[in-house]
Amino acid sequence: MKKVFALTLTILLLLSAFTFVPFADDDETELPKAVTLMGTEDLPPISNQGSVGCCASSSITYMQFTNAVSRYLRTNYPEMAINPSSGEFSEIFSPKWTYDFGGSGTAWVYNVLMEHGALTMDKTMFGVKKLPNEKPYRVDDPKKPNAFLESAVRWDISEGQMEEALNIRLKNFEQIWIRKNTFSNENGKINLTQTEVGKNLLEKIKAAVNEGNVVVTGGFSSSWTYVDQITGKGTLAQSFAETALVCGRGSMSGGHQLAIVGYDDEITCRYQGQTLKGAFQVANSWGTGWGNDGCVWLMYDALNEESEFAELNFSDRVYPIDQFCFVDWKTDIEVGLPSLYVEIEVSAKDREAVSAMLTTKSADNKVKSYIPYLFKNSKYHGKYQLDGLNYIYMTFDGTTDGDASKAIFSLDYRDLLDAETVATDQFGVTITTKEEGVILHSLKLKNNKGEVIAEVALSEEGQTLQSSTSLWFDKSLCNVTIPASDGSTGLQMEEVNALYAKDSEITLDYTLIEGYTDENMKVTISDGTKETEIQRSADGVFRIPVKSSLTVKVEGVEQAAEPTPTPTPTPTQTPTISPTPTPDSTPASTEASSSSSVQTPGEEDKGVSPVIFIVLGAAVAIGVAVAVVLAVKKKKK
């Protein structure tokens, strides 16, 4: 019996040498204790909004949207990748763009990003401050104490910038308000660290940051209470002399937005004799001279209206943060021009005196309309004030009380597009003016390739607009689909899924890969009921007539035949000419006949199964064990 036990033990010990690391199970991985986006190439440097009320745009457009776009482009369009951490204005989206059109409201800024996109800071930006007490949109000239820096206050939409901004837009955002009916504890007080719904929200924020997302937050800055020293540096803090926001006290006023860029569950600080643990790393827009090089630790308990510690439940304690806003870089960014948009070129003295409403009219004369957010939110546009002066009107180019200037509005039709009725709908615009002498210079309809597909005829001088003017494009639209070709079939062709005017004509654009010929190429179009072959025109191109919505199919691109050289005849040999191989023929190869190293297409080289190693290991272990037992027996004898 002892011998059997010894044999079994020996086998088990030897088999332990062949243990394999198990696969991870499907359970969710526990979040790291600390994560920061600071120092990553997708996050721009800390900004300074100065005296402009653009904190929402600074946290959303500058920090959150820039980070999301950078990560999205690097992953999906590496040729378009940017590096916001460099601080280059061309790599960072401008808070001025969304402040001009969205003002100071959080949701207003998001709506501008969704409908109008954004420009980078090299295209539109506030002026540069030259004096410590100077407003960034003020002229630095003692002779002109009440003058604007025109480049800082103009709307940058005079040369097609709105069309450029439409190329990168926000698809969606999630705004969670901290309300008592949702996040209250049994005492009716807001508590995020002890209620189940509150703890879930904190985990949601951490998970978003861990996935590379900036989370925007904001609240009542007048109530924010700080300590200037922490007691535990956790993983991310650089020194004990760092600032932490520990609670809200007093007035619930002074709305301000910030950006959560990290968290550390091990950070600790002392306040009123109590130790608070865990904090979000929050980036502000007040420059690097504020807080911890522009950031602050927002302690988890600070989010509570009722603290975890009875000693910190002061009579004037309030909840300091009232919202969290999420954007996922993987799903919420949209690249490319919209399917259909209108381009309106006007000139006016007062930029706030012009607005537009996009309209469609169905075959049975039902009219639908939509007001772009730029005009819908006009009363909240960013305002620029001068000391001692009342608000005065500005032209599009930033001059005050000046002559008329031009603007080009590029406006997406968005929800007015109906795939089922696009071929029968008529598209139009209603322009409203609040001043006399507003002139319409051009009105164009464009598709997602930036091509003009319809235009309203105007005189060279343009059309002087009335208080309300409705204009319609006289073209019906059809959708044209051309599948992409990556070159694997000898043809390189970009995908087309665009609207074109009915009865127009488009040219098929493609590039032949070297070694292929389009001599026998066949192009057919299908409207869903029948196929029609398109003949090559005299100049060698395929022109596709657009009579209805259609799909284009291209086939027949072939490998070009390589002529076989004629052998040089000898005096004793009659010259012969080898037949030219057809495109489908494949010359025989003596090397190819050896199949020992040839892998069948689609067959994987799976290598040696790990099971074999386990069986061999077990066999070796048993053999060694038997040898040991026999040796012991022999020795005893």
Read off the pLDDT of residues 6-28 as tens digits, 9 standing for 90 and up. 544 444 444 444 333 333 334 45
- The pLDDT value recorded for residue 568 is 60
pLDDT-derived band of residue 150, with 50, 70 and 90 as boundaries?
A: confident
pLDDT at 401 over 80: no
Greater pLDDT, 623 or 137: 137
Of 193, 196, 215, 195, nearest to 205 by C-alpha is 215
- The pLDDT value recorded for residue 422 is 85
- The pLDDT value recorded for residue 503 is 94
Tokens standing for residue 201: 């929200």
| Mean pLDDT in residue range 152-158 | 90
Amino acid 250 reads G
Q: How many CB atoms lie within 10 A of CB 365?
A: 7
pLDDT at 146 over 70: no
Chain segment 436-461, per-residue pLDDT in tens? 999 999 999 999 999 999 999 999 99
CATH fold, domain 34-117+166-326, is Cathepsin B; Chain A (3.90.70)
CB 185 within 8 A of CB 195: yes
Any idea what the Cα angle at residue 7 is, between residues 2 and 9, rounded to 5°?
95
**Of all residues in the chain, what percent carry a pLDDT higher than 90?**
70
- The pLDDT value recorded for residue 29 is 77
CB 238 within 8 A of CB 291: no
Q: How many CB atoms lie within 10 A of CB 622?
A: 15
Lowest mean pLDDT among 178-182, 202-206, 560-564: 560-564
| Mean pLDDT in residue range 611-625 | 52
pLDDT at 81 over 60: yes
Lowest mean pLDDT among 119-128, 213-222, 247-256, 538-547: 119-128
Q: How distant, in Å, are the alpha carbons of 509, 567, 635 from that of 587?
A: 34, 17, 71
Mean of all residue pLDDT scores within the chain: 85
Greater pLDDT, 50 or 156: 156
pLDDT at 532 over 50: yes
- The pLDDT value recorded for residue 188 is 94
pLDDT at 210 over 80: yes
List the domain boundaries for the chain.
Answer: 34-117+166-326, 337-475, 479-559
* Alpha helices (H) in 150-195, listed in sequence order: 150-153, 161-165, 180-183
pLDDT at 186 over 70: yes
pLDDT-derived band of residue 590, with 50, 70 and 90 as boundaries?
A: very low
Tokens standing for residue 546: 């657009």
**Of all residues in the chain, what percent carry a pLDDT higher than 70?**
79
- The pLDDT value recorded for residue 636 is 47
CB 25 within 8 A of CB 254: no
Greater pLDDT, 386 or 279: 279
**C-beta contacts of 454-461 below 8 A and 24+ residues apart:** 454/427, 454/501
Of 406, 384, 402, 393, nearest to 350 by C-alpha is 393
> Sign of dihedral through CA atoms 377, 378, 379, 383?
positive
Chain segment 480-494, per-residue pLDDT in tens? 999 999 888 899 999
- Give CA–CA dist 333/82, Å, rounded: 15
- Give CA–CA dist 366/425, Å, rounded: 9
- The pLDDT value recorded for residue 419 is 78
Greater pLDDT, 2 or 230: 230
Chain segment 463-477, per-residue pLDDT in tens? 999 999 999 999 999
Q: Which residue shows structure tokens 């654009």?
A: 509
- The pLDDT value recorded for residue 388 is 52
- The pLDDT value recorded for residue 603 is 38
How deeply is 612 buried, as exposed, middle or buried, from its count of CB atoms within 10 A (0-12, 13-18, 19+)?
A: exposed
Greater pLDDT, 110 or 614: 110
- The pLDDT value recorded for residue 394 is 84
Tokens standing for residue 449: 């390739």
Report pTM.
0.82
Helices and strands: H and E segment counts in the chain: 11, 33
| Mean pLDDT in residue range 225-245 | 96
The CATH number of 337-475 is: 2.60.60
pLDDT-derived band of residue 562, with 50, 70 and 90 as boundaries?
A: confident
CB 490 within 8 A of CB 513: yes
Q: How many CB atoms lie within 10 A of CB 195?
A: 18
- The pLDDT value recorded for residue 623 is 59
- List beta partners, residue 511: 492
Of 288, 393, 376, nearest to 102 by C-alpha is 376
pLDDT at 613 over 90: no
